[in-house]
Structure 1
């Protein structure tokens, strides 16, 4: 039985992905900062573990508990919606800490064992916002652009050791807690600059209208991640969801 470890499984894409792997007969380690918040079902093949991707001790403990990992899914991420001018540098650092540095730390934690076995797959969950220069997402997109650059180079670096590294690019998913959290933070950390308020409301309304009826759902991402983790012929970059696929074709 193959083993997958997935970060950020308390809700949304991570939870759906964990269930998808479980349904396909995998041994699943679903990780999250607070396992008490888990709504995942009880199963002999599912373990919920505490894991904070910004904490080295937490990462080491989860990796040790899981044992040899066939597929690592770096799904944990932080969202942010605000004008560049209204984004404190502390928030910028927090976003990069989770979206980039946390992924690097997870990859470094599993690579020695994967390299020794000369097999393994790492799937990094990015964002389809990189297909378009969307406003109010400059800092978030920067963190995901760095993640993509990391993944692309790592894929070449690790292929001689039998390790595949791939990117999944989910589309917009307004119904997820990730999207809700990102939108709610628009007034946090110093607030939204008043000069941008009208523009921001118009932009957000246009985004929601454009996404109406074509948004990504959790199963889209779960399907894409599962393919990235299993299909040797999977593209290096895989859009997930109807809007993401459409944007990829336009890019």
Structure 2
């Protein structure tokens, strides 16, 4: 074994091992690429990682299928001996009036955004407890801080994940594990293409205003910030030894909307949102 190879092996052992779900595109890919450039040992995941070209390792994982979670986590631990950071990023969008949206689609959204993410956490925690350290970063959404019209189910799934983050933080802190949430606003990704859009039904009471808001939602994504901003924020969060539980990453008005919700009377805040969405 040459000296240079020994040195590289030593550096790799010193580098933190990061597992990132939903890393084949969008924010997840931006985070994985950024951390890879910062010399982290990165394992991204997607349901079907074959066929794509990535500068970091990819493993197959579907958050709605527990057996794939177990296999993926075991594969990373077998290769690296540890998992230092979990970035729980996999998720999907859903739009539609509550009345018109199929309940099965609502359940499906929660299976990915909430229950699937929790199953990944459950798979990683035993290794983190054993090593006496770890960071779990739950990617939520600024939408999770308020009930947005025609995005109510998405808001609910991400809001629930925010609260679970708080509970989990207290439960695992005695084991040396830190749990945080990072809530992005609108970023320029392909999330709109992957959303479940409730159809605009011809006989729907919400037909006109829902159609208008679909266009507005897509425009917000198209005009969103560079996902590298989110990647840099996550890097900063995981390098901290302590800090907050909740972080928000986005434009000024997106973050300020959370402050307004906290200080304004409910009905006044509701009126502001309704005006924004032309309701």
User: By the TM > 0.5 criterion, same fold?
Assistant: yes
Which of 127, 144, 156 lines up with 2:170 in the alignment? 156
Distance 2:259 2:70 in 1: 40
> 2:27–2:231: 8 Å Cα contact kept in structure 1?
yes
Structural mapping, 1:211-250, within 5 Å: 215-243=224-252, 244-250=254-260
Shift of 1:204: 4.1
Distance 1:248 1:158, change over 3 A: same
Shift of 1:3: 0.3
Check if 1:138 corresponds to 2:152.
yes
> 2:192–2:221: 8 Å Cα contact kept in structure 1?
no
> 1:73–1:125: 8 Å Cα contact kept in structure 2?
yes
Distance 1:248 1:232, change over 3 A: farther
Which of 105, 127, 132 lines up with 2:141 in the alignment? 127
C-alpha deviations, 1:100-158, integer Å up to 9, x for none?
11111111101111112210000000011123331001111111111111111000111
Shift of 1:8: 0.2
Q: Which residue of 2 aligns with 1:165?
A: 179
Structural mapping, 1:11-160, within 5 Å: 11-41=25-55, 46-67=56-77, 68-160=82-174
Distance 1:210 1:34 in 2: 28
Q: Which residue of 2 aligns with 1:181?
A: 194
Where 1:201 maps in the other structure, the secondary structure is helix
Unaligned segments of structure 1, at least 5 residues? none
Distance 2:149 2:128 in 1: 39
> 1:21–1:226: 8 Å Cα contact kept in structure 2?
yes
Structure number with greater CO (CA < 8 Å, separation at least 6) is: 1
Q: Which residue of 1 aligns with 2:18?
A: 4
> 1:3–1:27: 8 Å Cα contact kept in structure 2?
yes
Distance 1:194 1:224, change over 3 A: same
Shift of 1:207: 5.1
Shift of 1:176: 1.3
> 1:30–1:49: 8 Å Cα contact kept in structure 2?
yes
TM-score normalised to structure 1 length = 0.88
Shift of 1:208: 6.3
Shift of 1:38: 2.9
C-alpha deviations, 1:154-207, integer Å up to 9, x for none?
00111111100000100013x31112322x62328xx58622121113334555
Distance 1:135 1:146 in 2: 17
Where 1:105 maps in the other structure, the secondary structure is helix
Q: Which residue of 1 aligns with 2:271?
A: none
Distance 1:180 1:122 in 2: 28
Larger radius of gyration: 2
Distance 1:212 1:6, change over 3 A: closer
Q: Which residue of 2 aligns with 1:202?
A: 212
Shift of 1:82: 0.6
Distance 2:222 2:255 in 1: 15
Distance 1:194 1:37, change over 3 A: farther
Shift of 1:212: 8.4
Unaligned segments of structure 2, at least 5 residues? 1-14, 262-279
